[in-house]
Structure 1
Amino acid sequence: MKEICIVEFTSNLGLKEPKPGKEPGVNRLPDWLWKNNLHKALKVDNIIRLDPPKYSSVKDPETKILNADSLVTYAREQAYLINNLISANKFPFILGGDCSILLGTAIALKQKGNYGLFYLDGHTDFMDISLSETGGAGGMATSIVTGNGHEKLTNILNLSPYIKEENLWCVGNREYDEEYENEIRNSAAVYISLNELRKKGISNCIQSFLSDVENKKLDGFWLHIDVDVLNDSIMPCVDSRTPDGLTYDEFNNLTALLFQSEKLSGLEITILDPDLDETGQYTKDFVNNLSSTFNLFKK
């Protein structure tokens, strides 16, 4: 078993301000998860933190994306760190942050080989800037890492695409908007909405994904977990709330199947906003479910 290393990416660069003059609170998520005993539950001593450049609410004139230049700077630093961990045969357990932290990860994976991405999220985040109302890279993360969009973000270090489109699986979306869903339907990525996941069955979907990883002889795969994939009643502390979502039984079943795979190279957790969970109860439940499932298979 690889040694687990907790990596804290305290970034909110990919989100818009919840209200004028107030930064998104997801940059405090690593500290919040520590306070709610995730680090202790995982029994991990190796912890690295990388803070991002300063947040700005001004869109980059060239790309129309918030914090574009800062995202590039940060992604390069993230990639260097993750690349070193993977080279040392460590398992990066990344705590975000918003979904834009995926950029650094994806660059590192491209530097190491040919990887798959299992993107477990209540949204696909596969969207062109023309559809974005906010200009936040978090809502376009999968699109960017598969080489779609402005070169400033999609071709850092001349590595575009960081993840091949056909090696991306977007699973759990429940934003059932025709125009939004068509973006990913018209791509080479595999798209499994929440409805489709339940119809096909979690076990069948994961088996298909793991077979795909094996058949393509990929070097491994990365797991992205946006907590807004969970049911709104058990995880309301997110920036973009939507009815329905996975129950903890469904979530634990799905993640357990992925955690068992030797091809899993690392994972990241995003979007839980401490500002929206005053008592910490939702976070505690999440920590208990995630850590107990993870510990079963990765210890």
Structure 2
Amino acid sequence: MKEVCIVEFPSNLGLKEPQPGKEPGVKRLPDWLWKHNLHKAIDPKDILRLDAPKYTNIRDTATTILNANSLVDYAREQAYLINNLLSQNKFPFVLGGDCSILLGAAIALKQKGNYGLLYLDGHTDFMDVSLSETGGVGGMAASIVTGNGHHKLTNILNLSPYIKEENLWCVGNREYDDEYENEIRNSAATYLSLHELRKQGISNSVQSFLSEIENKNLDGFWLHIDADVLNDSIMPCVDSRTPNGLTYEEFNELTSYLFQSPKLSGLEITILDPDLDATGNYTKDFVENISNTFNQFKN
């Protein structure tokens, strides 16, 4: 694997307030993971940080999206940073933040070539803004980066779509609602719900994805890991809890296949909220599992 660089994007711009006057705590995730030794375990060549603009709970009038202008400005800065790392043939190991941090990475990937995206998440995040009760980009990130939605966010630097819709694999959703799922079902993306992932088998599913990356001759792929893809019993410290989810055994099997691929260009971790893990025990387990699996293929 290439030289690993940890990149910290401590953003909560894509989420609503959990209660009036209180910001989402996920912006503290990079520091929380540092405290629980992820950085030490990964042992990167470098650690970079880009702080997010100030959070507000105000919807933009043009887009009806929370923090829209700040998200655009932040995405531009994120893209510049990640583009530089990719140009140096380094591997960005990105720590969010909420799922809106995907915008910056996706823009950088578009600037570099034609990439795929494996979106490993307990939700599709392929929601049209008209269906969103909150206006939070965190619930629309996969849709926005594939060109769906208001041009203010989908066409930053005139690069829409950042990821071609047919190069998106949305994996692990367990919010089983037809209106919600039909958004991704009716797209050109590949959709594997948690049920379908288990039905097809993790190995078969991942190999199909990797084969598609090769057959399309894509320049690589990005891995999005939302902590809420894990079973609620082992990862309850997320903003939108849903029953069921991947066990660590399943999660480690799936990510191990991806970490082995030379086409993996970078990854991001999102949504684990320190405010919801008072003892840190859930975070410790997460750090142990992700770092042990990643380090098997790092060197």
- The Cα shift of 1:7 comes to 0.1
Q: Distance in 2 between matches of 1:34 and 1:120?
A: 23
Secondary structure of 1:52 counterpart: coil
| Deviation readout 1:43-94 (Å, 9 max, x if unpaired) | 1241000001100000000000000000000000000000000000000000
- Preserved contact between residue 26 and residue 273 of structure 2 (Cα < 8 Å): yes
How do residues 246-285 of structure 1 correspond to structure 2 at under 5 angstroms? 246-285=246-285
1:32 aligns with 2:32: yes
Q: Which residue of 1 aligns with 2:125?
A: 125
Secondary structure of 1:169 counterpart: strand
Q: Distance in 1 between matches of 2:146 and 2:201?
A: 27
Q: Which residue of 2 aligns with 1:52?
A: 52
1:10 aligns with 2:10: yes
| Deviation readout 1:24-48 (Å, 9 max, x if unpaired) | 0000000000000000011124100
Q: Which residue of 2 aligns with 1:228?
A: 228
Counterpart amino acid of residue 55 in structure 2: Y
Q: Which residue of 2 aligns with 1:197?
A: 197
| Deviation readout 1:119-149 (Å, 9 max, x if unpaired) | 0000000010000000000100000000000
Q: Distance in 1 between matches of 2:144 and 2:262?
A: 27
- Aligned-residue CA RMSD in angstroms? 0.4
Q: Distance in 1 between matches of 2:229 and 2:267?
A: 15
Q: Distance in 2 between matches of 1:139 and 1:186?
A: 17
Secondary structure of 2:140 counterpart: helix
| Deviation readout 1:190-212 (Å, 9 max, x if unpaired) | 00000000000000000000000
Secondary structure of 2:232 counterpart: coil
1:188 aligns with 2:180: no
Unmatched segments (≥5 aa) in structure 1: none
User: What's the TM-score, normalizing by structure 2?
Assistant: 1.00
Q: Distance in 2 between matches of 1:133 and 1:177?
A: 15
Q: Which residue of 2 aligns with 1:81?
A: 81
User: What's the TM-score, normalizing by structure 1?
Assistant: 1.00
Secondary structure of 1:86 counterpart: helix
4+ residue runs over 2 A deviation: none
Q: Which residue of 2 aligns with 1:101?
A: 101
Q: Which residue of 2 aligns with 1:148?
A: 148
Secondary structure of 2:91 counterpart: strand
Unmatched segments (≥5 aa) in structure 2: none
- Preserved contact between residue 3 and residue 45 of structure 2 (Cα < 8 Å): no
Q: Distance in 1 between matches of 2:78 and 2:42?
A: 22
| Deviation readout 1:185-241 (Å, 9 max, x if unpaired) | 000000000000000000000000000000000000000000000000000000000
Q: Which residue of 1 aligns with 2:116?
A: 116
Q: Which residue of 1 aligns with 2:179?
A: 179
Q: Which residue of 2 aligns with 1:165?
A: 165
Q: Distance in 2 between matches of 1:60 and 1:21?
A: 18
